[in-house]
Structure 1
Amino acid sequence: MAPHGPAPSQADAPMQALEGQHWRTTTFRWLTAYAAIFSLAFMALIGLIEYSVTHAMERETDSGLRWQLRYFDARSDAELASAIALRLAHDSPHLNHYGLFSADGRYVAGDLDTLPGTLRLDAVEKMHDHARGENVTLNVDGSPSELRVMGEMRANGQRLVVARSLEDVGRVHGELVRALVIGGILCLGGSVLGGVLISMHQMRRVSAIRRATASVAAGNLSLRLPTEGRDELAMLAQLVNRMLDEVERLMAEVKMASDGIAHDLRTPLVRLRARLSNAGGEARARSPEELAAVIAGARAEIDGLLDRFTAMLRIAEIGSRQRRAAFADVDLRSLVADLYDLYEPLAEEKGIALETHLADVRLVAADRALLFEAFSNLLDNAVKFTPQGGVVRMSLEALAEGAAFSVADNGPGIPEEERALVLEQLYRGSRTRHLPGSGLGLGIVSAVMRLHDFTLAISGSNEGTVVRVDCWPHHR
């Protein structure tokens, strides 16, 4: 038995190939790039800390070495060797080191047995305020050690070298370097792992969206994309869902229009054909006046059909949204006042009281001609279906969000289960089907409201209908 459902298309092949390779996703690539940048920034920060700490410790060491030189400057050349021995005896072992050398570089006293060849020596009479030590490797009691050294030239030509071990500085330096390397590796590895996990989650969402879009492409227009989360992918899915809502609505309208043409227009066409056939077969037996009446009736039937087609074309034109170019600032108060002036004589002729309540409202961006046509249809329906002696009320209210236009009558009303249906093309309410009409007036109103992004709501009871339009002040 063949499997159900659409076969995978060639367009799905790249997505299926991508699902098992998370490192090729945009999410993974961006996270990896961010991880690399973050790791480099982290390593640069640790490097800066290491540089600052080690140089601060070296400056502190230089300060101690300058103090040592000042201490020995207070001693005479003859006392220098004994002063060095005394310092070595009382100082902490392996911390401070000293060396005294003759003018020709031979060892005289101290635990340093080698004179650094590149060491710059200050004169003995200087205060050594600007002296800076140097990092060298010297033999201390026969073993090499990393030292920070500083020296001076004595008055008798001897060379005095004072030094301090860099063991603490090296230990701190090593710890910071280890933190730099290990921290950088952990940051990079953790970020790459996080990128893989997040990209796997994103790929699951993309796969769900792909399956939904494949089902929609196969004809299931009722399916919608998953919108979990609040990121860009969810926003895109919401936009696509809105597009699918509109596509489904348009497809339903096309189907409804086709069904309406097939069913609702069939009756008047059959009636027109029968009337003309009867008139043709009995032409000799009928008087000219009777034939003229038949022709007038046929003409009325044809005019009704033309009106229906014109209304459907009008709805299609409005639904195409090409009329937004004609939007301008519209004064709703003036528009509703013009409606009252137009329909007040008709209402008076039918014995209906037409009442208005108009508040000052903000201007709205709209097509004035289309709004006038839509509001005219609402008012025309109210006057048409209100019995003699009834009341039709038009009101324009100012709201915090915009303006609200409403038309209320005390006619037969619209059952709650039919209030959504009457906004569709060619549908006529069960309580008003005996009255003349095409069932397209509210369809035009609904199309105009969608064009303007206004909200249309129908309410009321068995003793009347209230149609309310919320007019939001959208920007052009």
Structure 2
Amino acid sequence: MTSRLLFVYTITFLFSMLLLLVFVEHAVTGQMEHEVDVVMDWQLIYFDSTPDNMLPEAIQDRLENSHMHANYYGLFTSDGRHIAGNVMAFPPQLTVDRDGVTLARTLSVTGRRPVPMVRAMAERRKNGDILLVSRDVTNIFHIRKAIIRAFSMGGTFCLAAGIALGLAMSVRQMRRVRAIRRVTLRISQGDLNQRLPTGGRDEIDMLSHLVNHMLDEVERLIGEMKGACDSIAHDLRTPLAHVIVLLGSMAHRAGGLKDQPMLDLIARARSDTDRLLQRFRAILRISEIGALKRREGFADVEMETLVREVGELYEPLAESRSVQFVMHVEPIPGIHGDRNLLFEALSNLVDNAIKFTPEGGTVKVELRKTPAGPQVTVADTGPGIPAAEHDLVLQRFYRSKSTEHHAGSGIGLSIVSAVLRVHDFTMRLANADPGVRVIIDCWSRSLG
């Protein structure tokens, strides 16, 4: 963006300088030519008052007394023959209507080469002769060139200084923009404690203050809402546990009475209450993960060992459900993270994959090395997730329509997302044809 603005500024400046040079050249040249034309017009008026028989002598007298300015005169017959003066031939491009014309190296003068630059004017006298007066304007055009050269050099210097100053200012502004970008990326990843840098005392600084004020309010409101939700979940967890115990006692007594319909109702109530309690526990767990500070508890983690441990833990479960469990682990360098949280996230993914894979299906866990860092993939051959629901399943309590018949709270992927946000990792869902493939990029997407 900065380079484009600088390019536009340069083109605009050059175009403006070109217009200025054209204007100055036209104005200076026009003014100087007008002043020369006035002088030559007065000379023609003077010669008009001279009788025809005395005109050659008057012209010669003028030539002998012309010292400060180089003036050239020529008197010609109507058919162009030279009569008097030091101009030997009448220029063909010159008219006889007393209009000034600039001639470049075309005026033939006695005893010298063609004059570099003259301003000439001619008239036809009453007897039919043609009188030409001209004035050397070479110095005038030298002055014009000097002015244009001065403007060009000055404009070039101003352009260079402007570009240098623009680059210096843009570098400073781009540093601020990069700093703001880093902070906003952190904020977009869920770290609402971050604030935009301030101190520039300009429009960007004013915008940063407004955004920071907005973030303060957002953090306060989210904190209040989160605190209320956590309080509700925490306060209801104990009563729900008591309800489960009471339902168990009721089932024991109803069993003694051999009331099967009552036992079925109690079993359904216990199942629903237990599922509700699991949801409250999951909500509190997500809150605990989200409340962790960015790098608190981080250390070097051997992902190869971690993935193998998760596989060893869930391989017996896959076998019990007649699901083939496949692992492919490449040796990779360690990463910086929270081992317990990463173990919990991978466990949730593998558990979901096994749960939703039918008998005879396959669950594959893969750890491979990429140029950017380690990548973990968990794939299954279950019912899969439609592409339109890939983002929705990461929300709390959302369950895909293709897996609604399976037991669960729909919060496992939310826990995985919370863990990955703490690590600045990313998770992507893709179709496995059949089934779904979950891909975790174990490196930070933050831009420096």
Taking structure 2 as the reference length, the TM-score comes to 0.48
The structure, 1 or 2, with the larger RCO (C-alpha pairs under 8 Å, 6+ apart) is 1
Taking structure 1 as the reference length, the TM-score comes to 0.46
